[in-house]
Structure 1
Amino acid sequence: MKHKTMMFALAAAAALVAVSAVPATAAPGGTTAQWNYAVHPIAIRSPFSPGTGTHALPSGPADCLTATGGEFACQTPDSIRAAYDIPATINGVPAGTGQTIVIVDAFGSPTVRQDLATFSQAFGLPQADLNVIYPGGTPTWNGKGTQLGWAQETSLDVQWAHAVAPGATIDLVIAANDGGNSINTAEQYAVDNHLGTVMSMSFGIPEYLITGNNGQVAQAHQVYVDAAAQKMSVFASSGDDGSDNTAGTANFSYPASDELVTSVGGTNLLYGTHLQKGVRETVWGDFALCATTCADGPIGATGGAPSLLTAKGGSDVAYNASVYTGVLTYLGFMGADASGFYFMGGTSAGSPQWAALTADVVQAVGHRIGDVTQYTTSWAGKQLYDVTVGANTTPTFAGGYAATKGWDRPTGYGTPDVAAIIRALR
């Protein structure tokens, strides 16, 4: 896998980390080669960290804009709840109570529990009920290469699932490595053991890397068939490299393209800032339309394109994903000089939050709701906010796809109004 690091100036040096996929070496004996999943957490150190001169956390995106000279409109648990109408409590108890959110990642993080506790305390959330499960054995942490990206992803997934469903139990299922077979096995373990009502997968692989080599796709799809049979709602990120996944032609990401998985595209969340000007969200596509001053230049764009493997045409729904409107996340494994709160973005932020808000919905309505895509058409324009501005073009594929009224490839049918979804399903 390739590992890319870029440097930014923001109160102190800020590191952006993105991890992309390359094919695995062919397996011996002519059997189907294993490929590896990848994550794309994008982490930029915030000024609200030790050693940066500012320690008080912002109240919301407007405070972030002020603190960063108009560049970052970062999100807190309170601002996300306000933007997407997410209840903090349901029936007098914390939202998500009685539900279990399954999060699947590889390698894990050596400080996941401590970082979640720090995050919860900082934002006034109840302490989380977190179980860490290793179906394939506990990986050895070395903190290098792709492990660093997966550790960042793990922190992002767990903290923001907890922010959206603070009463829920989180079952973090860690694969021993990022190989497709290993991650499929972790997913199968979660499904076979009925761990939760929802499952989040913030990883993927560009479809052009697996076309004609889809034994692992069949294996993964069977997991989703089994999940659907027990009405588990399954979510995956649409990707962060636009409509082509660096392929130069339209290309989607798997498992987001699986027809039994709800694919979460990305937006710039402008709600609650002076940037809104009548448009609450735009497509996260920095190359077509940047959300803020974007002084550090374009960082990424949501996935969303016709699938090469299935009949899916792009994202099903969407959620805030831009780094410039990113969520504050605590990373405690970055070393003494670099640990602290980071602005984090990517569609990998949307998948765990959609899973968590679905856990809230299940608690409120009293029953599982299964595959969310079965509802999106009827929710369009009512329970989902339509995104109509922006595009996911990239420097390697200028064609891309623009947002339109109704469904579109980058953002599907839109972003959630959770209270409205609850009312619709009661």
Structure 2
Amino acid sequence: MRTTTPDSPTTRGRWRRITSAAGTAAATAAALVLTGLGTAGTATAASATPQTQTASPAKVTWAATPCATPKHKGDLACNSLRVTGGITAFEKQQAARNDVTPKAADATTPSGYGPSDLQDAYGLTSAAASNGTGETIAIVDAYDDPNAEADLAKYRSQYDLPACTTANGCFKKVGQTGSTTSLPTADSGWAQEISLDVDMASATCPNCDILLVEASSASMEDLGTAVNEAVALGAKFVSNSYGGSEESSDPSYDSAYFDHPGVAITVSAGDSGYGAEYPAASRYVTAVGGTKLSTSSTSRGWTETVWKTSSTEGTGSGCSSYDAKPSWQTDSGCAKRMIADVSAVADPATGVSVYDSYGVTAGWYTFGGTSASAPIIAGVYALAGTPSSGSYPARFPYAAAGTSALNDVTSGSNGTCSTSYFCTARTGYDGPTGWGTPQGLDAFTG
């Protein structure tokens, strides 16, 4: 069992961020509300009631979802943030197209990037239309979302994606033992995370089946058991949007839960800025960092920088203290496992649309965090096809390194570090964004 306490000086993730602001109202309420500008963004601790903010309406405010605060000692945290106000990049983009003044949407209208935006940004449009049939993406999260299937139906209907239901065999929800009836206790915070994850898998791979495996708790043991169950049920792509501080026992979790040759396992790199998290540090997984994704006048039509809001908010990265370096990773500054491998959009100010109804007002929300980027990349792997037997798909992007198959992210940082590429983007490999973001499928095939 993971034993790191919330006030441990080595703790990363949500515990470290919340306890570092222990004297503020935000920490007492277990929520940090942030404001982001259209470019770099600024973060400030604030009250847990975003509507009291006096910031310009053009600024975006957001808060960590409740599952970002672990319920029990040793639990892992989800890596998602939900926009609470302001005008998102998507809304500005739509207003510019229609030559009108941008205005924040209400809960009846999507206010973040949708499937067509993500597919266009990552060169997936034609592949998403034809690939993925017969492939299964497993989403592993903690606790139960009673409305998962109904909320997914709303999302897919909004964007004209094929129906994905239990009845047509596309959607299946099970507990960590594989039971469809013995499910965990419902939890509204993790339900938001589940909605984000299944929607992003749908956005990138509309033809894929979705297997939701709900762990009984947010402990590494239960979440790891759910990963194993997902693989046992036949999923070749498994997305994990959670993490916590590293511990000396992590290599044993690697062999127990994540060593699955022939299966692409993605893990979010974390939302607390520079610093390594587990299980992103596992050598068997693809660690996914986060970017700020904006439209541009370039030939690609999009541009990306490292996602960072403040010294305690942004994509995770770093050199693991315990996990061995995989053979395909050759950066010289880190003797052990380096995070991340690749990246995708995670900045809440350039966030994604999600439909959610359990424990909140039913409607459309905009989410960010590396919880968004991990299922996006799982979907890209699924579009690329079943990995070869015995392969470790985490290796695939390294074989395509430096090619047009990846958008190299070369600007921005996620904190302060002694070895610059650990926390600062550069040409080629860097910690915050790995080898970059997808440009088609070539970097995700065997």
Q: TM-score higher than 0.5 here?
A: yes
Alpha carbons of structure 1 residues 384 and 400: separation in structure 2 relative to 1, 3 Å: closer
Q: Equivalent residue of 1:188, what SS?
A: helix
Match of 1:282 among 285, 305, 316: 305
- Contact 1:283–1:390 (CA under 8 A) maintained in structure 2: yes
TM alignment of 1:122-161, pairs within 5 A: 122-128=158-164, 129-136=170-177, 137-141=182-186, 147-161=187-201
* 1:343 match: 366
* 2:245 match: 206
After superposition, what is the alpha-carbon deviation per residue over 1:288-339, rounded to whole angstroms, capped at 9, x for unaligned? 8xxxxxxxxxx8200001111121122011111100110011111244xx33
Alpha carbons of structure 1 residues 14 and 60: separation in structure 2 relative to 1, 3 Å: closer
Alpha carbons of structure 1 residues 60 and 361: separation in structure 2 relative to 1, 3 Å: farther
TM alignment of 1:10-409, pairs within 5 A: 16-18=63-65, 19-20=67-68, 35-45=74-84, 62-63=93-94, 67-68=102-103, 74-89=112-127, 94-128=130-164, 129-136=170-177, 137-141=182-186, 147-191=187-231, 193-207=232-246, 210-211=247-248, 214=249, 217-225=251-259, 227-228=260-261, 231-243=262-274, 251-270=275-294, 272-273=295-296, 280-287=303-310, 300-310=313-323, 311-335=336-360, 338-362=361-385, 370-382=391-403, 383-393=405-415, 401-409=423-431
Query: Aligned residues, how many?
Result: 365
- Contact 2:135–2:209 (CA under 8 A) maintained in structure 1: yes
CA distance in 1, matches of 2:276, 2:141: 20
Q: Equivalent residue of 1:166, what SS?
A: coil
CA distance in 2, matches of 1:59, 1:279: 12
- Contact 1:96–1:165 (CA under 8 A) maintained in structure 2: yes
Alpha carbons of structure 1 residues 148 and 274: separation in structure 2 relative to 1, 3 Å: farther
1:8 aligns with 2:50: yes
> How far is 1:20 from its partner?
4.2
CA distance in 1, matches of 2:254, 2:356: 30
Q: Equivalent residue of 2:211, what SS?
A: strand
What root-mean-square deviation, in Å, do the aligned CA atoms of Structure 1 and Structure 2 show? 3.5
Q: Equivalent residue of 1:151, what SS?
A: helix
Report the residue type matching 1:120 in the other structure. R
Q: Equivalent residue of 1:266, what SS?
A: strand
> How far is 1:394 from its partner?
7.2
- Contact 1:60–1:79 (CA under 8 A) maintained in structure 2: no
CA distance in 1, matches of 2:424, 2:61: 31
Report the residue type matching 1:373 in the other structure. A
Task: Give the TM-score, by structure 2 length.
Answer: 0.73
CA distance in 1, matches of 2:320, 2:32: 29
Task: Give the TM-score, by structure 1 length.
Answer: 0.76
> How far is 1:274 from its partner?
6.5
After superposition, what is the alpha-carbon deviation per residue over 1:252-276, rounded to whole angstroms, capped at 9, x for unaligned? 0000001111100000011x34699
> How far is 1:152 from its partner?
1.0
Q: Equivalent residue of 1:324, what SS?
A: helix
Report the residue type matching 2:112 in the other structure. C
CA distance in 2, matches of 1:125, 1:61: 24
* 1:246 match: none
- Contact 1:87–1:95 (CA under 8 A) maintained in structure 2: no
Alpha carbons of structure 1 residues 279 and 97: separation in structure 2 relative to 1, 3 Å: closer
After superposition, what is the alpha-carbon deviation per residue over 1:138-161, rounded to whole angstroms, capped at 9, x for unaligned? 1222xxxxx333111100000110
After superposition, what is the alpha-carbon deviation per residue over 1:223-244, rounded to whole angstroms, capped at 9, x for unaligned? 222x12xx0011100000011x
- Contact 1:21–1:205 (CA under 8 A) maintained in structure 2: no
- Contact 1:184–1:220 (CA under 8 A) maintained in structure 2: no
> How far is 1:415 from its partner?
0.4
> How far is 1:113 from its partner?
1.0
Identical-residue share of aligned pairs (%): 29
Report the residue type matching 1:203 in the other structure. Y
After superposition, what is the alpha-carbon deviation per residue over 1:382-409, rounded to whole angstroms, capped at 9, x for unaligned? 21111110000179xx997211111111
- Contact 1:233–1:370 (CA under 8 A) maintained in structure 2: no
Alpha carbons of structure 1 residues 278 and 341: separation in structure 2 relative to 1, 3 Å: closer
- Contact 2:422–2:430 (CA under 8 A) maintained in structure 1: no
> How far is 1:421 from its partner?
3.9
Alpha carbons of structure 1 residues 388 and 15: separation in structure 2 relative to 1, 3 Å: closer
> How far is 1:4 from its partner?
1.6
- Contact 1:267–1:320 (CA under 8 A) maintained in structure 2: yes
Report the residue type matching 2:94 in the other structure. D
CA distance in 1, matches of 2:425, 2:398: 16
Q: Equivalent residue of 1:85, what SS?
A: coil
CA distance in 2, matches of 1:394, 1:158: 33
Report the residue type matching 2:319 in the other structure. P
CA distance in 2, matches of 1:189, 1:419: 27
After superposition, what is the alpha-carbon deviation per residue over 1:44-97, rounded to whole angstroms, capped at 9, x for unaligned? 14689xxxxxxxx9987611675348xx9931110110000113556xx64311
CA distance in 1, matches of 2:267, 2:280: 5
